[in-house]
Amino acid sequence: MRILITGGAGFIGSNLCEYFIGKDYEVVCLDNFETGHLHNLNAVISNPNFNLIHGDIRKIEDCQKAVKGVDFVLHQAALGSVPRSIKDPLTTNEVNVSGFLNMLIAARDAKVKRFVYAASSSTYGDSVGLPKVEDVIGKPLSPYAITKYVNELYAEIFSKTYGIETVGLRYFNVFGRKQDPNGAYAAVIPLFVKQFMNYESPVINGDGNYSRDFTYIDNVIQMNELAMLTQNPDAINTVFNTAFGDRTTLTELVQLLKNNLSHFDPKIAEVNIIHGPNRIGDIPHSLASIEKAKSKLGYNPQFSIELGIQEAVSWYFHNLK
Protein backbone atom coordinates (compact mmCIF):
# COMPACT_ATOMS: atom_id res chain seq x y z
CA MET A 1 0.00 0.00 0.00
CA ARG A 2 1.07 3.55 -0.72
CA ILE A 3 0.87 6.30 1.91
CA LEU A 4 1.27 10.03 1.44
CA ILE A 5 2.65 11.78 4.52
CA THR A 6 2.40 15.54 4.20
CA GLY A 7 4.87 17.48 6.31
CA GLY A 8 6.93 14.30 6.22
CA ALA A 9 10.21 16.08 6.93
CA GLY A 10 8.87 17.53 10.17
CA PHE A 11 9.00 16.09 13.65
CA ILE A 12 5.90 13.87 13.60
CA GLY A 13 5.91 13.34 9.84
CA SER A 14 9.48 12.04 9.67
CA ASN A 15 8.83 9.59 12.49
CA LEU A 16 5.80 8.33 10.58
CA CYS A 17 7.89 8.02 7.39
CA GLU A 18 10.48 5.89 9.19
CA TYR A 19 7.87 3.72 10.85
CA PHE A 20 5.92 2.89 7.70
CA ILE A 21 9.02 2.39 5.54
CA GLY A 22 10.10 -0.07 8.25
CA LYS A 23 6.82 -1.92 7.70
CA ASP A 24 7.41 -2.14 3.92
CA TYR A 25 4.85 0.42 2.84
CA GLU A 26 5.52 2.69 -0.11
CA VAL A 27 5.77 6.20 1.36
CA VAL A 28 5.47 9.53 -0.42
CA CYS A 29 6.63 12.57 1.55
CA LEU A 30 5.43 16.06 0.62
CA ASP A 31 7.19 18.94 2.36
CA ASN A 32 8.20 22.53 1.58
CA PHE A 33 10.97 22.49 4.23
CA GLU A 34 9.87 25.71 5.90
CA THR A 35 9.80 23.97 9.27
CA GLY A 36 10.87 20.44 8.29
CA HIS A 37 14.47 19.30 7.77
CA LEU A 38 16.06 17.02 5.18
CA HIS A 39 18.25 15.46 7.87
CA ASN A 40 15.09 14.11 9.55
CA LEU A 41 14.78 11.80 6.53
CA ASN A 42 18.34 10.44 6.58
CA ALA A 43 17.16 6.95 7.55
CA VAL A 44 14.72 6.64 4.63
CA ILE A 45 15.91 8.95 1.86
CA SER A 46 17.77 6.22 -0.06
CA ASN A 47 15.09 3.56 0.40
CA PRO A 48 13.53 2.52 -2.95
CA ASN A 49 10.07 2.58 -1.37
CA PHE A 50 10.45 6.24 -0.36
CA ASN A 51 9.61 9.15 -2.65
CA LEU A 52 10.29 12.76 -1.63
CA ILE A 53 8.34 15.58 -3.26
CA HIS A 54 9.51 19.12 -2.53
CA GLY A 55 6.21 20.98 -2.72
CA ASP A 56 3.72 23.15 -0.87
CA ILE A 57 0.18 22.27 0.21
CA ARG A 58 -0.80 25.86 -0.62
CA LYS A 59 -0.37 24.88 -4.30
CA ILE A 60 -3.15 22.58 -5.48
CA GLU A 61 -0.97 21.18 -8.27
CA ASP A 62 1.60 19.99 -5.70
CA CYS A 63 -1.17 18.27 -3.74
CA GLN A 64 -2.50 16.62 -6.90
CA LYS A 65 0.95 15.36 -7.82
CA ALA A 66 1.52 13.94 -4.35
CA VAL A 67 -1.75 11.96 -4.12
CA LYS A 68 -1.33 10.07 -7.42
CA GLY A 69 -1.68 6.35 -6.79
CA VAL A 70 -1.98 6.85 -3.04
CA ASP A 71 -4.18 4.64 -0.84
CA PHE A 72 -3.99 6.66 2.37
CA VAL A 73 -3.09 10.23 3.35
CA LEU A 74 -1.58 11.03 6.75
CA HIS A 75 -1.84 14.82 6.73
CA GLN A 76 0.70 16.31 9.16
CA ALA A 77 1.64 19.48 7.27
CA ALA A 78 0.74 22.62 9.20
CA LEU A 79 2.18 25.73 10.78
CA GLY A 80 2.11 24.96 14.49
CA SER A 81 2.56 27.24 17.49
CA VAL A 82 0.00 29.49 19.15
CA PRO A 83 2.46 32.44 19.43
CA ARG A 84 3.34 32.20 15.73
CA SER A 85 -0.35 32.30 14.82
CA ILE A 86 -0.86 35.39 16.99
CA LYS A 87 2.08 37.12 15.31
CA ASP A 88 1.14 36.05 11.76
CA PRO A 89 -2.46 34.81 11.53
CA LEU A 90 -2.58 35.23 7.75
CA THR A 91 0.16 32.70 6.96
CA THR A 92 -1.14 30.31 9.60
CA ASN A 93 -4.55 30.42 7.93
CA GLU A 94 -3.11 30.00 4.42
CA VAL A 95 -1.21 26.85 5.39
CA ASN A 96 -3.60 25.31 7.91
CA VAL A 97 -6.92 26.10 6.24
CA SER A 98 -6.31 26.73 2.52
CA GLY A 99 -3.59 24.06 2.42
CA PHE A 100 -5.83 21.61 4.25
CA LEU A 101 -8.67 22.24 1.81
CA ASN A 102 -6.30 21.72 -1.13
CA MET A 103 -5.28 18.37 0.29
CA LEU A 104 -8.88 17.30 0.88
CA ILE A 105 -9.84 18.20 -2.69
CA ALA A 106 -6.81 16.40 -4.14
CA ALA A 107 -7.48 13.30 -1.99
CA ARG A 108 -11.16 13.29 -2.99
CA ASP A 109 -10.38 13.59 -6.69
CA ALA A 110 -7.73 10.86 -6.50
CA LYS A 111 -10.21 8.58 -4.70
CA VAL A 112 -7.91 8.08 -1.73
CA LYS A 113 -9.27 5.41 0.65
CA ARG A 114 -8.89 7.43 3.82
CA PHE A 115 -7.65 10.84 4.92
CA VAL A 116 -6.19 10.85 8.45
CA TYR A 117 -5.22 14.30 9.67
CA ALA A 118 -3.49 16.02 12.57
CA ALA A 119 -6.09 17.88 14.58
CA SER A 120 -5.25 19.65 17.84
CA SER A 121 -6.17 19.80 21.51
CA SER A 122 -6.24 23.60 21.05
CA THR A 123 -9.74 23.03 19.65
CA TYR A 124 -10.99 22.66 23.23
CA GLY A 125 -10.33 26.37 23.71
CA ASP A 126 -11.92 27.86 26.81
CA SER A 127 -13.74 24.66 27.78
CA VAL A 128 -12.89 24.16 31.46
CA GLY A 129 -14.03 20.58 31.99
CA LEU A 130 -11.41 17.86 32.56
CA PRO A 131 -10.69 15.41 31.11
CA LYS A 132 -11.37 16.69 27.60
CA VAL A 133 -14.00 14.61 25.82
CA GLU A 134 -14.25 14.78 22.03
CA ASP A 135 -17.82 16.06 21.75
CA VAL A 136 -17.49 18.92 24.27
CA ILE A 137 -15.41 21.88 23.07
CA GLY A 138 -15.24 25.60 23.89
CA LYS A 139 -14.40 28.74 21.94
CA PRO A 140 -10.90 28.90 20.38
CA LEU A 141 -8.29 31.06 22.14
CA SER A 142 -5.89 31.69 19.24
CA PRO A 143 -5.80 31.92 15.43
CA TYR A 144 -4.04 28.55 15.41
CA ALA A 145 -6.90 26.95 17.34
CA ILE A 146 -9.41 28.41 14.88
CA THR A 147 -7.57 26.89 11.93
CA LYS A 148 -7.46 23.43 13.51
CA TYR A 149 -11.15 23.56 14.33
CA VAL A 150 -11.93 24.62 10.76
CA ASN A 151 -10.00 21.51 9.61
CA GLU A 152 -12.42 19.34 11.56
CA LEU A 153 -15.41 21.14 10.07
CA TYR A 154 -14.09 20.74 6.52
CA ALA A 155 -13.29 17.06 7.09
CA GLU A 156 -16.81 16.42 8.37
CA ILE A 157 -18.41 18.21 5.42
CA PHE A 158 -16.24 16.36 2.90
CA SER A 159 -17.18 13.05 4.51
CA LYS A 160 -20.89 13.83 4.34
CA THR A 161 -20.87 15.52 0.93
CA TYR A 162 -18.33 13.52 -1.05
CA GLY A 163 -18.07 10.23 0.85
CA ILE A 164 -14.33 10.48 1.57
CA GLU A 165 -13.36 8.71 4.79
CA THR A 166 -11.69 11.04 7.30
CA VAL A 167 -10.28 10.58 10.80
CA GLY A 168 -9.00 13.50 12.88
CA LEU A 169 -6.43 13.01 15.63
CA ARG A 170 -6.43 15.74 18.27
CA TYR A 171 -2.77 15.76 19.31
CA PHE A 172 -1.98 16.68 22.90
CA ASN A 173 1.54 18.16 23.36
CA VAL A 174 3.48 15.61 21.36
CA PHE A 175 7.21 15.24 22.11
CA GLY A 176 10.10 12.94 21.29
CA ARG A 177 13.03 12.28 18.98
CA LYS A 178 13.58 14.72 16.10
CA GLN A 179 11.50 17.52 17.65
CA ASP A 180 13.44 20.65 16.77
CA PRO A 181 14.90 22.57 19.77
CA ASN A 182 15.85 25.56 17.61
CA GLY A 183 13.89 28.49 16.25
CA ALA A 184 11.61 31.11 17.75
CA TYR A 185 8.69 28.70 18.15
CA ALA A 186 10.39 25.61 19.52
CA ALA A 187 8.15 23.42 21.68
CA VAL A 188 8.74 23.48 25.41
CA ILE A 189 10.42 20.08 25.90
CA PRO A 190 13.15 20.33 23.24
CA LEU A 191 13.68 24.00 24.14
CA PHE A 192 14.17 23.20 27.83
CA VAL A 193 16.45 20.26 26.98
CA LYS A 194 18.66 22.46 24.82
CA GLN A 195 18.81 25.14 27.51
CA PHE A 196 19.72 22.65 30.24
CA MET A 197 22.42 21.12 28.05
CA ASN A 198 23.86 24.63 27.54
CA TYR A 199 23.60 25.32 31.32
CA GLU A 200 21.01 28.03 30.63
CA SER A 201 18.04 28.57 32.92
CA PRO A 202 14.73 27.55 31.31
CA VAL A 203 11.88 30.02 31.72
CA ILE A 204 8.53 28.65 32.89
CA ASN A 205 5.57 30.77 31.79
CA GLY A 206 3.59 31.56 34.95
CA ASP A 207 3.88 29.85 38.33
CA GLY A 208 4.48 26.39 36.86
CA ASN A 209 1.10 24.98 37.83
CA TYR A 210 -0.29 24.93 34.29
CA SER A 211 -0.56 21.29 33.24
CA ARG A 212 -0.45 19.37 29.98
CA ASP A 213 -1.08 15.83 28.72
CA PHE A 214 2.41 15.31 27.27
CA THR A 215 2.29 12.58 24.65
CA TYR A 216 5.31 10.62 23.41
CA ILE A 217 5.76 10.25 19.64
CA ASP A 218 5.36 6.45 19.62
CA ASN A 219 1.84 6.78 21.03
CA VAL A 220 1.03 9.14 18.15
CA ILE A 221 2.45 6.70 15.59
CA GLN A 222 0.23 3.98 17.05
CA MET A 223 -2.84 6.21 16.71
CA ASN A 224 -2.07 7.07 13.08
CA GLU A 225 -1.70 3.41 12.17
CA LEU A 226 -4.93 2.44 13.95
CA ALA A 227 -6.86 5.31 12.36
CA MET A 228 -5.52 4.42 8.92
CA LEU A 229 -6.31 0.72 9.07
CA THR A 230 -9.41 0.44 11.27
CA GLN A 231 -12.40 -1.40 9.82
CA ASN A 232 -14.72 -0.19 12.58
CA PRO A 233 -17.36 2.02 10.90
CA ASP A 234 -17.86 3.88 14.20
CA ALA A 235 -14.19 4.98 14.09
CA ILE A 236 -14.43 6.65 10.69
CA ASN A 237 -15.53 10.24 9.96
CA THR A 238 -14.90 11.34 13.53
CA VAL A 239 -12.13 12.73 15.76
CA PHE A 240 -10.06 11.15 18.53
CA ASN A 241 -7.97 12.53 21.36
CA THR A 242 -4.39 11.41 20.84
CA ALA A 243 -2.69 11.46 24.21
CA PHE A 244 -1.58 9.34 27.15
CA GLY A 245 -4.43 10.36 29.42
CA ASP A 246 -2.42 11.88 32.28
CA ARG A 247 -1.30 15.42 33.08
CA THR A 248 1.96 16.91 34.27
CA THR A 249 2.55 20.43 35.54
CA LEU A 250 5.32 22.52 33.99
CA THR A 251 7.16 22.44 37.32
CA GLU A 252 7.01 18.63 37.34
CA LEU A 253 8.11 18.52 33.71
CA VAL A 254 11.16 20.67 34.31
CA GLN A 255 12.21 18.55 37.27
CA LEU A 256 11.76 15.38 35.24
CA LEU A 257 13.94 16.79 32.44
CA LYS A 258 16.56 18.00 34.90
CA ASN A 259 16.77 14.64 36.67
CA ASN A 260 17.08 12.66 33.45
CA LEU A 261 19.64 15.01 31.90
CA SER A 262 21.70 14.99 35.09
CA HIS A 263 22.36 11.27 34.56
CA PHE A 264 24.31 12.26 31.44
CA ASP A 265 25.80 15.49 32.80
CA PRO A 266 25.78 16.05 36.60
CA LYS A 267 26.42 19.80 36.15
CA ILE A 268 22.85 20.20 34.85
CA ALA A 269 21.56 19.55 38.38
CA GLU A 270 22.97 22.98 39.34
CA VAL A 271 20.98 24.94 36.71
CA ASN A 272 18.31 27.24 38.19
CA ILE A 273 14.75 27.64 36.92
CA ILE A 274 13.27 31.07 36.07
CA HIS A 275 9.59 32.06 36.03
CA GLY A 276 8.13 34.53 33.53
CA PRO A 277 4.64 35.87 32.73
CA ASN A 278 1.83 33.68 31.45
CA ARG A 279 1.66 33.43 27.67
CA ILE A 280 -1.28 34.87 25.71
CA GLY A 281 -3.52 32.18 24.21
CA ASP A 282 -2.40 29.41 26.59
CA ILE A 283 -5.03 27.31 28.32
CA PRO A 284 -4.33 26.57 32.01
CA HIS A 285 -4.87 22.82 31.97
CA SER A 286 -5.10 20.09 29.39
CA LEU A 287 -5.97 16.44 30.00
CA ALA A 288 -7.42 14.03 27.48
CA SER A 289 -9.97 11.31 27.87
CA ILE A 290 -8.70 8.48 25.67
CA GLU A 291 -11.69 6.20 26.27
CA LYS A 292 -13.11 6.78 22.78
CA ALA A 293 -9.81 5.82 21.13
CA LYS A 294 -9.51 2.76 23.36
CA SER A 295 -13.02 1.52 22.65
CA LYS A 296 -13.29 2.29 18.92
CA LEU A 297 -9.68 1.89 17.76
CA GLY A 298 -8.14 -0.43 20.33
CA TYR A 299 -5.63 2.27 21.30
CA ASN A 300 -3.22 1.22 24.03
CA PRO A 301 -0.51 3.86 24.63
CA GLN A 302 2.75 2.37 25.85
CA PHE A 303 4.71 5.50 26.76
CA SER A 304 3.99 7.51 29.90
CA ILE A 305 5.56 10.94 30.38
CA GLU A 306 8.33 9.36 32.50
CA LEU A 307 9.22 6.70 29.94
CA GLY A 308 8.89 9.11 27.04
CA ILE A 309 11.17 11.67 28.70
CA GLN A 310 13.81 8.99 29.31
CA GLU A 311 13.75 8.07 25.62
CA ALA A 312 13.67 11.67 24.39
CA VAL A 313 16.45 12.91 26.69
CA SER A 314 18.70 10.05 25.62
CA TRP A 315 18.07 10.85 21.96
CA TYR A 316 18.76 14.57 22.44
CA PHE A 317 21.90 13.97 24.44
CA HIS A 318 23.35 11.77 21.70
CA ASN A 319 22.19 13.94 18.80
CA LEU A 320 22.62 17.53 20.04
CA LYS A 321 26.16 17.12 21.31
> Which residues are identified as catalytic?
144
**CB distance 16 to 222 below 8 Å:** no
- Quote the CA–CA distance of 179 and 23 in Å, as a whole number: 22
**CB distance 222 to 299 below 8 Å:** yes
**CB distance 58 to 99 below 8 Å:** yes
- Quote the CA–CA distance of 63 and 103 in Å, as a whole number: 6
